[in-house]
Amino acid sequence: MSVLAAIAVLIVLIVVHELGHFAAARLQGIHVNRFSIGFGPTLLQYQGSETKYTICAFPLGGYVAFPDDDPESPIPPDDPNLLSNRPILDRAIVISAGVIANLIFAYFLLVGQSLTIGFQEINYDSGVLVPEIIEDSDSAATKAGIKPGDIILKVDELDLGDSPKSLELLRDIIQDSPDQSLKLTVKRDEKIISLLVTPQPDAENQGKIGVMLAPNGELTRRHTSNIIEAFNSGAAEYQRISGLMFQGFWQLISNFQDNADQVGSPVAIVAVGAKLARNDLGNMFQFGALISINLAIINILPLPALDGGQLAFLVIEGVLGKPLPSRLQDGIMQTGFVLLLSLGVFLIVRDTVNLALFQ
């Protein structure tokens, strides 16, 4: 059931994205001849007065098609309501509307979460929790005698305190201290003990001790009492998630060689969503918002076959005063589509194999 919930969230986000393109076109009176959710064989279809609506066998994708690209369209090529005959601004609105729809939808998901299940918060206690030892018997933590459930209160004479920054502070100290002994003051059950740990250097000469770290505190849910507060809480959470997302993308791009294995396919995304749904179905609000913002950021990248690539063509057209030759544009878009499709197939196969091996 959790897997179906994660797939349903992805399908909804795809529908929202394509509806953005479709609505932006139709509200401007631009012809649209097809609205499709999914790819491959058609399962359901409905022919409207102008647009054919279809649902296809593979729902993790979709598109809005225009008669400009259909040589059999009965609409004459000089029709002012063809997308290609509209001013650059009109076309830019249509192309960017999918991204805008995903960003707006993510915000309202968070507002909905604020009104219903609320946002998780932590009432912080002193120190940083060690929930799990993640490496073998040779790890620095094991040698030092650190155990799951320990709470690290101090490093040398520095009190970690009871704030959201405690975990980051401890992590930074460990990473900055390879091959240097650190005295930890640890709370274990009701006892206070001292342990000496020597972080081991990794490939980048950053210290590590082989443990998971987590905030020490009690999880609670903060609910809003009225719609105004819900909008404010949703905006604050939206800003937090967006900041983390852009930070993650920047780290991925700036050090792609080391972080390439973090790129995931829809299979990996569904797996993460299913895990979150098993823990708490309410997590699907935040999962949906995160993936919706993610989808918007990816689509706005200036890559062929993505919305950002088409916007890049419009920018070039605006600078040159005329569009690039259609044959050149088609060649770039087709090459980009093949490359993205190949990457997608590779990631799906990789993530499926990983799931099968590590179930």
What does the pLDDT look like over 186-222, one tens digit per residue?
999 888 999 898 988 887 888 888 888 888 887 777 7
Question: Which pLDDT does position 143 carry in this prediction?
Answer: 86
Element (H, E) at 327: helix 326-358
The three-state (H, E, C) secondary structure of 36-97, written as one string: EEEEEEEEEEEECCCCEEEEEEEEEEEEEECHHHCCCCCCCCCCCCCHHHCCHHHHHHHHHH
Per-residue pLDDT of the chain (359 residues; tens, 9 = 90+): 456 766 777 888 889 999 999 999 999 999 999 999 988 888 999 998 889 999 988 777 888 989 987 778 888 888 899 998 899 999 999 999 999 999 999 999 989 888 888 877 778 888 888 888 876 667 888 888 888 888 999 998 888 888 888 888 888 899 898 889 999 999 998 889 998 989 888 878 888 888 888 888 877 777 787 889 889 988 988 888 887 777 666 655 655 444 444 444 343 444 444 454 455 556 778 778 888 888 888 788 887 778 888 898 888 888 888 887 777 776 766 666 556 555 544 444 444 344 333 34
> Following DSSP, what letter does each residue of 125-167 receive, concatenated?
EEEEEEEEE-S-TTSHHHHHT--TT-EEEEETTEE--SSTTHH
Bridge-based pairing state of the strands 191-197 and 182-188:
antiparallel
Question: Which pLDDT does position 322 carry in this prediction?
Answer: 82
Question: Which pLDDT does position 349 carry in this prediction?
Answer: 42
**DSSP summary character for residue 290:** H
| Residue of 228, 282, 234, 227 whose CA lies nearest to 104 | 234
Which CATH code is given to the segment(s) 120-221?
2.30.42.10
Within 8 A by CB and 6+ apart from 317, the residues are 88, 323, 324
Element (H, E) at 187: strand 182-188
Identified catalytic residue from 18, 50, 132, 135:
18
Active site residue 229: no
Question: Which pLDDT does position 76 carry in this prediction?
Answer: 87
Cα dist from 91 to 50, 51, 312, 314, 327, whole Å: 19, 19, 12, 8, 19
The three-state (H, E, C) secondary structure of 205-223, written as one string: CCEECCEEEEEEEEEEEEC
Question: Which pLDDT does position 337 carry in this prediction?
Answer: 59
Question: How is the chain split into domains, by residue range?
Answer: 2-30+86-114+289-358, 120-221
Within 8 A by CB and 6+ apart from 299, the residues are 17, 98, 99, 102, 306, 307, 308
For residues 113 and 282, is the Cβ–Cβ distance under 8 A? yes
Grouping H, G, I as helix, E, B as strand and the rest as coil, residue 270 is helix
